[in-house]
Amino acid sequence: MHAHHDGSSLYVSTRSPRLGERVTLWLRVTDAEAPPAVWVRSAPDAEPWYDAAERVGEHAGWWWYRARVTVHNPVMRYRWLLSADEGYSWFTGGGLVAHDVPDDQDFTLLVSDPAPEWVTSAVVYQIFPDRFARSDAASERELPSWAVASGWDDPVEQRRPDVAYQVYGGDLDGVGGKLDYLEDLGVDVIYLTPFFPAGSSHRYDSTTFSEVDPLLGGDDALSRLTSAAHARGLRVMGDLTTNHSGWEHEWFLAARADVDAAERDLYFMQPDGTYVGWYALATLPKFRPSDEFFDRLIDGPDSVARRWLAPPFELDGWRIDVANMTGRQGEVDANREVAHRLRTAMVEERSDAYLVAEHCHDASADLRAGGWHGAMNYAGFLRPLWSWLRYPGYRSNFLGLPADVPRSSGESAVATVTAFIAATPWREMTASWSLIGSHDTARVRTVLGDCAGVAAGILFTFPGVPMMFMGDEWGGEGVDGEDSRRPMPWDRPESRDADTFARYRALIALRRGSTALREGGLRWVHASDDAISYVREHLDETMWCVAARGGTQRVAIPCEALGLFRAEDAALVHGEAALSVADGEVSATVTGPAFVAWRLPGVTRPAGQ
């Protein structure tokens, strides 16, 4: 027997219920005989409660069940109970099991507002401003004393600390000059890494939050960029460090200069002037979640978070650096308060503002708390894809993990992805950023080699908001986060892979044109060492995706598992493969590395009585 339910609209009547609201849930089961009794088990006020489900009909080999449940608590977790004469089984986000299991993978509904509607169709393009594009004014600017001037085609200096001081001269007007390019690629959200003045080119060690770095063109350049982007229907997000500042930040200097200064309350600072640095780095003093911190940075009337969302800058949201550690230090844990108050302030300032947390491991507990709209999905997306698709000769680690990236099977990758999705509310998972590389990692082409295109196919067809790092669409290389920040090779066509650009452009267009890819559910239909396959399902259409890392792979799936009974009902929309339907089985033959997708008919959900 197989069963399926997820948090998409195919199975849940509302993704943002209110307390006391009745929500309709659906379950589908394929078996020779339908289970005689099905319930939904929730736990209002932490006590188990069972709502009976009714069998509403059968279609294409699937029995459908429907239950109506009442949302009693702000966080509602639930699972399905399937009962038969020989015993019972539970169905949770982790799958169908015939033994009792704890609640950590139960499905989740949250009573809070969702991410803004525009996030559903967003494709995010990350820009490191110093390395994207230069305007004509860039060469006229005086460099700060710490900066090491570099020509646009100079290599990135890998020696520390010099790597943090290289300045190539990219600026915000340079970004504005490439909006035609970004529109042609198909992205619609520009995510800028920090633009505040700092003591380095990465700018995560800010010296003030009161202005845009003059090296990037100053306040007027940001206003010009957001205005021009908005005129084209594009959005712009900033990058804010609520966890720490630089040690030359004006607030920190004031705190060190005067024991009675209000700025002392902004940091974990002792009377003798000693202080806590993030990750024990003295150059990055850590903020303390005090009243002063909330007023100045988070939700005061003139807070940093509010100011840059308001005119004339009008950012569309923030990505929060080191969000998992924000407000947390030893016995102090105000992380959830920071997230909730930050989100409230942002939405007050701009009703459709979007808040994303940087989080490099398991973000599920923080996302269930209802503050962050979503997180950067390193642990549940990038890491399993890297492990499955890794180039055999690649030797490196995941963001400091003291072990090399393993090379795992497709089954292992699917198990990891499934476990993280099960632990995370569906709504927050789909508002999180799926990524296969960033400014903090090695380049996807360097790690995955010829399988980078397979990873791109999965990126743009999976639940979640696709986020790509500038230059990945040209096959950019880089052995680590620093090396990955090479300037864009606008004037070096030999460094731009036309096939990779065409692949990214086609995949982005495919996502934009597909309701199933933007809003559909997710169901795995195959996993083996070298191939994985899943369907994105919606009432309007289904997208069937097959990914192979190498060799000739035959992926055979029962017809009822796909809802496909005639080959002519499958339209190939990406890649190349042979498909046949015979003897109750759909067979696809793919030569890897490859990613292939077909458009199939939508799911029919029986209406019942």
Closest CA to 586 of 548, 552, 558: 558
Burial class (CB in 10 A: 0-12, 13-18, 19+), 415: middle
Which has the minimum average pLDDT: 318-322, 330-334, 404-408, 436-440? 404-408
The stretch 374-392 carries a mean pLDDT of 96
Residue pLDDT, tens place only, 548-574: 999 999 999 999 999 999 999 999 999
Residue 209's identity, in one-letter code, is: F
pLDDT at 68: 98
Which residue range(s) make up the domain with 35? 2-110
Domains of the chain: total: 2
Q: Is residue 609 pLDDT above 70, yes or no?
A: no
Sequence-ordered list of residues with C-beta below 8 angstroms from that of 296, at least 6 positions apart, any chain: 251, 266, 303, 304
CA distance 63 to 456: 35
Classify residue 21: in a domain, yes or no.
Answer: yes
Look up the CATH number of the domain holding residue 568. 2.60.40.1180
pLDDT > 90? residue 468:
yes
Give the CA angle between residues 299, 305, 311 to the nearest 5°.
Answer: 110
Q: In degrees rounded to 5, what are phi and psi of residue 441?
A: -125, 170
What's the whole-number mean pLDDT along residues 237-256?
98
Q: What is the mean pLDDT of the chain?
A: 96
Rounded to whole angstroms, how far apart are CA atoms 370 and 116?
14
**Cα separation of 316 and 584, whole Å?**
50
Alpha-carbon distance of 409 to 411, in angstroms, equals: 5
Instruction: Single out the residue in 62, 82, 110 at which a domain terminates.
Output: 110
Give 67-101 pLDDT, tens digit per residue: 999 999 999 999 999 998 889 999 999 999 999 99
- For position 239, what pLDDT does the model report? 98
Give 270-316 pLDDT, tens digit per residue: 999 999 999 999 999 999 999 999 999 999 999 999 999 999 999 99
Number of H helices, E strands in the chain: 17, 27
DSSP state of 267: B
pTM > 0.85: yes
Q: How confident is the model at residue 608 (pLDDT cuts 50, 70, 90)?
A: low
Residue 210: pLDDT over 60? yes
**Are the C-beta atoms of residues 377 and 361 closer than 8 Å to each other?**
no
Instruction: State the DSSP string of 519-558.
Output: H---EEEEE-SSEEEEEEE-SSEEEEEEEEEEEEEEEEEE
Exposure b/e, 310-346, CB count within 10 A at least 16 = b = eeebbbbbbbbbbbbbbbbbeeeebbbebbbbbbebb
Q: Is residue 371 part of a domain?
A: no
243 in a structural domain: no
Rg of the chain in Å (alpha carbons): 25
Specify if 551 maps to a domain.
yes
The phi and psi torsions of 218 (rounded to 5 degrees) equal: 75, -175
In the chain, % of residues over pLDDT 70 = 100
Q: Is 297 within 8 Å of 287 (Cβ atoms)? A: yes
Instruction: Kindly state whether residue 566 falls inside one of the protein's structural domains.
Output: yes
Is residue 32 scored above 80 in pLDDT?
A: no
Mark 122-142 as b/e (b = at least 16 C-beta within 10 Å).
bbbbbbbbbbbbbbeebeebe
Q: Work out the average pLDDT over 365-380.
A: 96
- Residue 241 placed within a domain: no
- Look at residue 163 in the predicted model and tell me its pLDDT: 87
Q: Does a structural domain hold residue 573? A: yes
Helix or strand run (H / E) with residue 572: strand 571-574
Q: What span, in angstroms and rounded, lies between the C-alpha atoms of 253 and 247?
A: 7
Question: Which of 67, 95, 110 marks a domain boundary?
Answer: 110
- CB-based burial, 416-427: b 16+ in 10 Å, e otherwise: bbbbbbbbbbbb
How far apart, in whole angstroms, are the C-alpha atoms of residue 218 and residue 213? 5
Q: How sure is the predictor about 404, in pLDDT bands with cuts at 50, 70 and 90?
A: confident
Domain-terminating residue out of 110, 126, 147: 110
In SS3 terms, 285-340 reads as: EEECCCHHHHHHHHHCCCCHHHHCCCCCCCCCEEEECCHHHCCEECCEECHHHHHH
pLDDT at 399: 78
pLDDT tens for each residue of 137-194: 999 999 999 999 999 999 998 877 778 999 999 999 999 999 999 999 999 999 999 9
List C-alpha distances in Å: 73 to 18, 22, 108. 9, 12, 11
Q: How far apart are CA 194 and CA 199, in angstroms?
A: 12
CATH code for the domain in which residue 80 is found: 2.60.40.10
Helices 452-461 and 498-512 cross at an angle (nearest 10°) of 20
Question: Is 49 within the bounds of a domain?
Answer: yes
Residue 489 is predicted with a pLDDT of: 96
